[in-house]
Structure 1
Amino acid sequence: MARQQKDSNRRYKTRVRIAKTHNKIADTRKDFLHKLSTKIVSENQTIVLEDLNVSGMVKNRKLSRAISQQGWRDFRVLVEGKSEKYGRNFVVISRWEPTSQSCSECGYRWGKIDLSIRSVLCLNCGTEHDRDENASVNIEKVGIGHCHDSKRTLRQGKTTSVVPVDEASRITARSRR
């Protein structure tokens, strides 16, 4: 179209053909998002999504087009609306939750790793994890109400006293002055 003469019939026909193709692609994406969101909401009682910094991810030149075309925001809106309509639980966890930075088995936190690393070996329990599958298990744990750190979920909520019960503490004992 860029090489065609302006205000010509051939340019007009090419513009219409390109517009139809773009509309068809957009309709196909919307149809896919509707079908996928309906399937997810109808098959699950609780839907857990991670809040992502999409505006920050789009600033990456190599990934911006792929991220923009996926329609993540539209998918979230559709799932949220359909889960409300069908009476399902919809949970969004914080973007600051370290889902890809810790082991889903033992809770050991290895910290930030480069995106090119797709498989991680836990130094604590020795389990090898796929990066995305490990993050999805952690998202599920956080979404259903468990603490992210598995060690904290196993810990009892009782406080233990260092001093025996029958012995009075210096801090709590009244001074007799």
Structure 2
Amino acid sequence: CIDVGIKQFATIASSEENGTISLPESIKLEQLKLAKFQWRNRNKQLGSKGKPASKNAVKYYKKLAKYHARIASLRKDFLEKITTELASKYKYICLEELNIKGMMQNGKLAASIARQGFYEFRQRLTTKIVASGGSVVLAGQWFPSSKTCHNCGHIHKELKLSDRTYNCPNCGTVIDRDLNAAIVLSQYGEVNQKARVGCTRNYACELEGADSPG
């Protein structure tokens, strides 16, 4: 099963292996260049209230658009390759139906979430797995995968978003937060075996109510 996140793009837990997927360095580099470019131009007057933008402002917007286009192209290529690889490797997966709209309202996370492309990742991966005869189990967006202990099932309600390590107050388990969530999702997928039957239809129904970043 796959748990997506901010620190690592995704954490995988399966009967065969546990692992992580990171954004390519090329994307991180372009994102860093964009951030520096925006910071250097933070005090520029770019036109407002009916006043035409200056030549420098026009140049700024054109260069800004190029940065965004470059990042979007790199992200599209990354998502295409990683979803193809995962779909060829796994026949059954469990994903969490994230509340993207709600997460985007968090000012500290909005930019990071937008850069990751979680929604597109889920769409592409699900389409490819179902097309190849596999199936996908979706855990509801309020399923507490991050707060549930994979070892004893205790829900750690006091766990903060900033806590990167899961310390279970009930059984004492200590584990990486994202890995714990991925294992919990894997357990959820195993319990919900029946949800895999006729997955294409079930997924389409769930998708109608899925959150969209737009």
Does the alignment reach a TM-score above 0.5? yes
In 2 relative to 1, CA 64–13 (structure 1 residues): closer, same or farther, beyond 3 Å?
closer
Verify the 8 A CA contact 2:149 2:155 in the aligned structure 1.
yes
| Cα deviations by residue, 1:119-169 (Å, 9 ceiling, x for unpaired) | 23323332212211111100110012269xxxxxxxxxxxxxxxxxxxxxx
CA distance in 2, matches of 1:8, 1:110: 54
1:33 matched residue in structure 2: 79
Verify the 8 A CA contact 2:96 2:185 in the aligned structure 1.
yes
Would you say 1:62 and 2:108 are equivalent positions? Answer: yes
Q: State the Cα distance separating 1:39 from its structure 2 match.
A: 0.9
Would you say 1:135 and 2:181 are equivalent positions? Answer: yes
| Cα deviations by residue, 1:81-133 (Å, 9 ceiling, x for unpaired) | 11122111111111222212221112223324111222233233322122111
* Percent of pairs with identical residues: 36
Verify the 8 A CA contact 1:41 1:47 in the aligned structure 2.
no
Q: How does 1:39-118 map to 2 (within 5 A)?
A: 39-118=85-164
Gaps of 5+ in 1: 148-177
Quick check: 94-103 or 79-88, which moved more? Answer: 94-103
CA distance in 1, matches of 2:155, 2:61: 53
* CA-atom RMSD in angstroms: 2.6
Verify the 8 A CA contact 2:166 2:176 in the aligned structure 1.
yes
CA distance in 1, matches of 2:159, 2:84: 34
In 2 relative to 1, CA 74–103 (structure 1 residues): closer, same or farther, beyond 3 Å?
same
CA distance in 2, matches of 1:4, 1:56: 31
TM-score of the pair, normalised by structure 1: 0.70
Q: State the Cα distance separating 1:3 from its structure 2 match.
A: 6.0
| Secondary structure, counterpart of 2:170 in structure 1 | coil
CA distance in 2, matches of 1:13, 1:146: 54
- In the alignment, which of 27, 46, 69 is matched to residue 23 of structure 1? 69
2:22 matched residue in structure 1: none
Q: Where is the helix percentage greater, Structure 1 or Structure 2?
A: 2
Quick check: 76-85 or 16-25, which moved more? Answer: 16-25
Choose between structure 1 and 2 for higher RCO, CA contacts under 8 A separated by at least 6 residues. Answer: 2
2:6 matched residue in structure 1: none
Verify the 8 A CA contact 2:137 2:192 in the aligned structure 1.
no
In 2 relative to 1, CA 120–12 (structure 1 residues): closer, same or farther, beyond 3 Å?
closer
